[in-house]
Amino acid sequence: MSQGKRNKKLFSFAVSLNSAIFASLKEYLAMQTKCHLSVLIHEQAKKYGERDALTFRNFGSLEWKTVSWNQFSLRVKQVSNALLNLGVKPQENIAVFAQNCIQYLYTDFGAYGVRVVSIPFYATTSEQQIQYMVNDAQVRFLFVGEQEQYDKAHRIFALCPSLERIIIFDPSVRISTHDPHALYFDDFIALGEKLPRQSEVEQLWGQANDEDICNILYTSGTTGDSKGVILSYGQYHAAMEANDKCVPVGEQDRVISFLPLTHIFERGWAYLSLTEGAQLIINTYPNEIQQSMRETHPTSMSAVPRFWEKVYIAVKSRIDEANAVQRKVFQHALSIGRKRNIEYLSRGKRVPLALELEYQLVNKTILSLVRKQIGLENPNIFPTAGAYVSPEVEEFVHSVGICMIVGYGLTESLATVSCDHKGEPYTIGSVGRPIEGLEIKIGDNDEVLLKGPTITRGYYHRDQINAEAFDADGFFHTGDAGYLKNGELFLKERIKDLFKTSNGKYVAPQMVESLLLVDKYIDQVAVVADQRKFVSALIVPEFRLLEDWARERNIPFSSREDLCDSEAIHAMMQDRIETLQQQLASYEQIKRFTLLSHHFSMESGELTNTLKLRRPVIYKNYAEKIDKMYEEV
């Protein structure tokens, strides 16, 4: 063999060896533990031992505590044993009616360990809805969080024939003297404390399979209907693997849980983080999230767009209040951040050296201060989904050096359908690139259709609805309109939410509402347009700021109603709305609006548990005010 051929052969061998080493290294660095959810926590305990797994606060406490992977594993085993001692059978349904807490995770994974189906209920769910879901799923054991959840469960107990026990997480809950069915979580744990049924638990680990049902998630339903989405272990397995390939979260991350674990976005994200060995920070009370972030310094968090809208409004307000020099300095830093992160990196372009050096300077001296204010000294990624993301807000978040991963998903798809892939080009306004293994097709009316291993097998006990949800080719109909361009998915509107004016023009209300919600004086908005001559809106102001504005201008008021009726305030809001909607076509613009003195709420039925508008309820409740906006002038 000639020297040239020998060198060529050696070079090829070196290239293939390097490729193999790189592939192995990549696999090693990924660090995801790939196993059935029934044994995930125990496998992670073998890997991480005494390393911190969970950071949490007890109910009513201000002190943050930690639990190691070993402690997490032991408690999960105890729950599994206790469930067997209560007589729970494989694939039987239990339910958890609580806010995020450490006991929630113990219960879920303990249930998975004995092949039991865990059904999460939102902590704010009404008694009527709890009664409906318990009876629909024939739940025998209902785990509850605090006093409010216990009281609701106690009141509906007699109306639920299948219900046998209420198990209470918060030890300070006062149990009714006429309730022989309630049990504190600590007493429940005592049933499995010494692992009396562990050999049976381990037999059930061996029987666990991907076809088993893991969860049934009842959708909150913007139309008022509630359907139980079946989620199997196979779906979770496929989702964990697919997300691992495009979502860079790892064992060095501190992931704070902000959204309710009942929400599939938070549930999927939390489980992914646990498979990667990340530390999970459990935020129990959503209204304390900003303080929790400043105290615990997370590196990642899943959120809905409204969270970032409020951050944007707060920062913008602070800039407006600063002196001229400070404003100029910050706006310059923001422009550098935008140029580097949006104009170059988002488009896959190499950042010029001079710009990179200038960015590093403003990032260290100015932008880092903004991130520090919200507790993000070392930000990694921040998945965001659940509603339309305003391009203005998305650009701002990236410009201050926070990597927002915009995505799209449904309960029926076990969260992620698509998302931005860190390090790859992305377009402001898109919802990212589809995850691996999922087939997306654009159907009639531009509807997004889905097929793949992460898609639900259907709705619990809903044969007729299942027949309508899937077509002959097995594609699930999402009800969302969209299109694919250069490998990215773009959403247009929710087909059922699309309004048609009496002039035949189509209006996407969520898009119009998102434009208004970036204004600091607007807290909630509901667009009205369907079968109407023009677009109008019901607006709930941010009253604290509105009161300040009125006082500064000596506008008299003694109530919120006075503020909403003020001509000066109406004129100010009109000017701001006209500025915000300049980019809209004339027929999409809000022509009239009414200020409301009370918020839309879950109690009134106007919001779902995920804070989405229930438009039919709102339109019914405010029919008189809506009709008045369409009276001839």
> What are the structural domains, with CATH classification, of the chain?
69-208 (3.40.50.980), 300-495 (3.40.50.12780), 498-629 (3.30.300.30)
Tell me the angle at which helices 567-580 and 543-552 cross, rounded to the nearest 10 degrees.
Answer: 120
| The pLDDT of residue 578 | 92
DSSP 228: E
| The pLDDT of residue 225 | 62
DSSP 352: P
The rounded distance, in Å, linking the Cα atoms of 348 and 36 is 37
Where are the alpha helices (H) located in 31-138, listed in sequence order?
40-48, 69-85, 102-112, 127-137
| The pLDDT of residue 11 | 37
**Residue owning tokens 């007493």:** 187
Taking only Cα atoms into account, the Rg of the chain, rounded to an integer number of angstroms, comes to 26
| The pLDDT of residue 3 | 47
Asked if residue 379 lies in contact with residue 253, where contact means CB atoms within 8 angstroms, the answer is no
Which comes out higher in pLDDT, residue 428 or 18? Answer: 428
- The answer to whether the predicted template modeling score (pTM) of the entire model surpasses 0.95 is no
Contacts of 239 (CB under 8 A, 6+ apart): 268, 272, 414, 415, 416, 435, 454
| Beta strands in 145-257, from DSSP E residues, in sequence order | 165-168, 182-184, 213-218, 228-232, 254-257
Taking the alpha carbons of 285, 286, 287, 291 in that order, is the dihedral positive or negative?
A: positive
> What is the token pair recorded at 602?
């879950």
The rounded distance, in Å, linking the Cα atoms of 520 and 522 is 6
| The pLDDT of residue 120 | 97
Best CA proximity match to 454, nearest among 403, 408, 495: 408
**86-91 mean pLDDT:** 97
> What is the token pair recorded at 225?
């209907």
Where are the alpha helices (H) located in 480-555, listed in sequence order?
509-516, 543-552
Average pLDDT score over the chain: 90
Q: Is the pLDDT of residue 19 over 80?
A: no
Q: Is the pLDDT of residue 239 over 50?
A: yes
Calculate the CA dihedral of residues 127, 130, 131, 136 and round it to 10 degrees.
Answer: 160
**Residue owning tokens 């304390």:** 288
Burial 30-39 (b: 16+ CB within 10 A, else e): eebbebbbbb
Best CA proximity match to 48, nearest among 356, 278, 390, 385: 278
Identify the bridge partners of residue 536 per DSSP, sorted by sequence position.
528, 592
DSSP 339: I
**391-414 mean pLDDT:** 94
| Residue range 147-158, pLDDT digits in tens | 999 999 999 999
Burial 128-151 (b: 16+ CB within 10 A, else e): ebbbbbbebbebbbbbbbbeebbe
| The pLDDT of residue 377 | 92
> Mind spelling out the 3-state secondary structure of 307-338?
HHHHHHHHHHHHHHHCCHHHHHHHHHHHHHHH
Asked if residue 442 lies in contact with residue 411, where contact means CB atoms within 8 angstroms, the answer is no
Asked if residue 483 lies in contact with residue 492, where contact means CB atoms within 8 angstroms, the answer is yes
3-class DSSP state of 476? strand
**372-387 mean pLDDT:** 91
Which comes out higher in pLDDT, residue 83 or 501? Answer: 83
Contacts of 220 (CB under 8 A, 6+ apart): 122, 226, 608, 609, 610, 612
> What is the token pair recorded at 98?
């609580």
The rounded distance, in Å, linking the Cα atoms of 447 and 419 is 18
| The pLDDT of residue 83 | 98
| The pLDDT of residue 629 | 92
Q: Is the pLDDT of residue 22 over 70?
A: no
**Residue owning tokens 């615990």:** 296
| Residue range 506-563, pLDDT digits in tens | 788 888 898 899 999 999 999 998 888 889 999 999 999 999 999 999 999 999 999 9
Quote the percentage of the chain above a pLDDT of 90. 76
| Residue range 26-76, pLDDT digits in tens | 443 448 999 999 999 999 999 999 999 999 999 999 999 999 999 999 999
**621-632 mean pLDDT:** 89
Q: Is the pLDDT of residue 380 over 90?
A: yes
| Residue range 106-149, pLDDT digits in tens | 999 999 999 999 999 999 888 888 999 999 999 999 999 999 99
| The pLDDT of residue 316 | 86
> What is the token pair recorded at 309?
């809208």
**429-445 mean pLDDT:** 94
| The pLDDT of residue 583 | 82
What's at 406, amino acid-wise? V
| The pLDDT of residue 393 | 92
Helix (H) or strand (E) holding 123: none
What's at 439, amino acid-wise? E
Q: Is the pLDDT of residue 574 over 50?
A: yes
| Residue range 215-230, pLDDT digits in tens | 999 986 555 568 999 9
DSSP 435: P
